Structure formats: C-alpha cells, structure tokens
Amino acid sequence: MAKKVLVTGGAGFIGSNFLNYVLRQRDDWEVVNLDKLTYAGNLENLKEIEEKPNYTFVKGDITNNELVNYLFEKYRFDYVINFAAESHVDRSILGSEVFFRTNVVGTNVLLEASRRFGIEKFLQVSTDEVYGSLGETGLFTEQTPLSPNSPYSSSKAGADLMAKSFHHTYDLPVVITRCSNNYGPYQFPEKLIPLMIINALNDKELPVYGDGLNVRDWIYVIDHNRAVELALENGKPGEVYNVGASREMKNIEIVKLILKILGKPESLIKYVKDRPGHDRRYAIDSSKIQSELGWKPSFEFEEAIVQTVEWYLKNKSWWERIISGEYQKYYETQYGQR
C-alpha cells in the first residue's frame, strides 16, 4: 500500500531538495506538499517533479487549523514531515512574532490534527541551534540540555518540546531530527554560503559578522534528507536523532574558500557589526543515528561545496529573480546598503 505523506514547507531549500530526491526514487509515496509560499518558498525548485501523479501541491499555512484538518480528513496521512518554518536567525532578530506563529503554533496545529486523525509517524525537522552555543571543545549530543539563544532557535526548541509532549502524553509516534548547517542547491541567498557566492559573483562586499571565527558544522542537504527519510521510517517514537557530517569550519574559512573556487580576491571581504547574541560554535555528535539507524554522510565537503558553487553559477536566473524582488528590501534593512 502506498504511504500518504504530508510534507510541509516543501517549496523551501531543504524541503524542495527532499521532494526532488524522494520522488525520483519512490513511487510508493503519495505526497501532499503544504507550503505557504512565503518569501522563502519557490515552486521553481520543484519543476522536475511537479507533473508526477503521486505529487500534489497545496498553497496554505500550517497555522490554518481548518485547512490542515480538511487535508487530514481528505488524505488520511500515514506520515507527516514538518519542514515548514521561518528559518533565518537574522530575520528573527529583526522581528520574532512570525517565528513564534509558524514554528510553534504551526507545529502544534499539525500535532493536534495528527493526534485527532491518527498517523504512523510524525517527523519534526529540528536544528542543532536548540542546544545553544559550544565553547572551543565538545559536541552536541541528544542529552545536551536545550538552551536556545535566538528567537529563531527558541521557537524551534518550543516546537520540539511540544512534539515531545505529544509523544509522552498521547503516545503520538513523534521522531525529532536535529541537524547542523545545510548547504546545497536552492538555498535562499540570505544564508551564509549562497549570500557569499552571489556577492562574490557580483563583485560586491562579503559581509563577515564579528571576527569571522564563529564555527558551524556543515552538511550537504541530501545527506540531511537521507537522515530524515530514515528517521521517519525506522526512527523510534519519542526519540531525538542528531544529524551532522563532522565538518566544522570557521566562517572566514568558508568565505575564503568560496573566493578561491570563484577566483575572486580576498579584498572583497568586509568585517561588519556582529549578529546580536551570535552563537560561537556548533558541532554535532551524530553517533546515535549512525549506530542505531545505520545512517552516515555520503558527500565529501570538498567536492560538494564546489558542486554547490557550480550550481549557483549555472542557475543565475534562479537567484537573479530572487534578489531583484522582495529580498532586496530585507538586504537594505540588514546590511544598510543595496
């Protein structure tokens, strides 16, 4: 029997890579993609799969109780995968309300419908940022206490706690994945890697926050999505699985690497005012998902970052359409220039 799958936020960066990956190889899933198409949602990302008979797109908001209940009634989902979120830390610092609404209230609406109609598994796509910040050493494990620092990460932590409580109280089969920083095609150019690639291509300054020594742990988006698929199907209800590829990099190292790949000068780098409350270091211990579910990363950073840069070179029209629109206003507010 085909599985009925509700994917939320499937027009965003990770969700669209997930759908492109999963629908290419699985005819045993009937997928409904519920996405509000905020500034970050783009149906162009899904051109390859939009005609598939086992794929349906619904434009709508996960906080809309009526719509969500209607979809559950109509499709009787077996699986729910919740990618939908407001995802950018800097935007959450400029205004937190929509982060609370989508990330916490929206997740609650999906959990309530899942409880009411019954489902086989609910996969909450979370982030390592819920653990807060690390010092020079150590790794986040699933036992690390939640200590989110930004409005974005607190809203994600709130959603995680809500999801966990639905498992504890109602026995809803919830699984949570907490992944580190993703990179790859279709990432919105407000995030570090695409922003730096595009600015460098346009010979624009590359704005590095603070001293540039903050550390992020990078994973190719397909490796994250393979973990999501595996945790959905084989993850134990009530459990959390950290996902990461053990590829820590200082921001300045990433920026210099991008310039090197593109053959652009380091003089484009500009150190700018630090992000308020900027987490210093993230690093993930993913040994649990490796030993319990048999997942391991399959993309080498050195190769995948070059492929990612090449994707942005080949898909100029994709990002040019984005940066000419709404995004331009945000750029002016965040960086004080065009």
Q: Single out the residue of 4, 36, 88, 226 in contact with ligand TDX (rule: CB under 6 A).
A: 88
Q: 62 contacts which partner out of ligand TDX, ligand NAD, none, CB within 5 to 8 A by kind?
A: ligand NAD
With binding defined as CB under 6 A, does residue 150 bind ligand NAD? Answer: no
With binding defined as CB under 6 A, does residue 151 bind ligand NAD? Answer: no
With binding defined as CB under 6 A, does residue 226 bind ligand NAD? Answer: no
Residues 12-71 that bind ligand NAD (CB under 6 A): 12-15, 34-38, 40-41, 61-63
Distance, CA of 212 to CA of 252 (rounded, Å):
5
- Environment class of 137 (CB within 10 Å of its CB; exposed 0-12, middle 13-18, buried 19+): exposed
Closest CA to 209 of 282, 137, 277: 277
Q: 154 contacts which partner out of ligand NAD, ligand TDX, none, CB within 5 to 8 A by kind?
A: none
Residues 104-143 that bind ligand TDX (CB under 6 A): 127, 129
- What are the φ/ψ torsions at residue 97 (nearest 5 degrees)? -60, -45
**For the stretch 79-100, what's the b/e string if a residue is b when 16 or more beta carbons lie within 10 angstroms of its beta carbon?**
bbbbbbbbbbbbbbbeebeebb
For residue 128, what is the DSSP state?
G
Instruction: Report whether 152 contacts 129 (CB < 8 A).
Output: yes
Q: 199 contacts which partner out of ligand NAD, ligand TDX, none, CB within 5 to 8 A by kind?
A: none
Q: Tokens 């903050």 sit at which residue?
A: 214
With binding defined as CB under 6 A, does residue 247 bind ligand TDX? Answer: no
129 catalytically annotated: yes
95: Cα within 13 Å, side-chain hemisphere? 7
With binding defined as CB under 6 A, does residue 214 bind ligand TDX? Answer: yes
Q: 251 contacts which partner out of ligand NAD, ligand TDX, none, CB within 5 to 8 A by kind?
A: ligand TDX
Q: 173 contacts which partner out of ligand TDX, ligand NAD, none, CB within 5 to 8 A by kind?
A: none
Closest CA to 163 of 112, 212, 206, 119: 112
Helices and strands in the chain, H and E counts: 13, 12
- Environment class of 31 (CB within 10 Å of its CB; exposed 0-12, middle 13-18, buried 19+): buried
Residue nearest to ligand NAD (CB): 12
128 catalytically annotated: yes
Cα Rg of the chain (Å, integer): 19
Annotate each residue in 183-222 with x if it binds ligand NAD (CB under 6 A) or - if it does not, as one string.
-----x----------------------------------
With binding defined as CB under 6 A, does residue 327 bind ligand TDX? Answer: no
Tell me which H or E stretch contains 216: strand 215-220
Instruction: Compute the least distance from the CB of residue 1 to ligand NAD, in Å.
Output: 27
For residue 120, what is the DSSP state?
S
Distance, CA of 301 to CA of 308 (rounded, Å):
10
Catalytic residues: 128-129, 152
Q: Which residues bind ligand NAD (CB under 6 A)?
A: 8-9, 11-15, 34-38, 40-41, 61-63, 83-87, 102, 106, 125, 127, 156, 179, 181-182, 188
Q: Which residues bind ligand TDX (CB under 6 A)?
A: 87-89, 127, 129, 181, 191-192, 195, 207-209, 214, 216, 251, 275
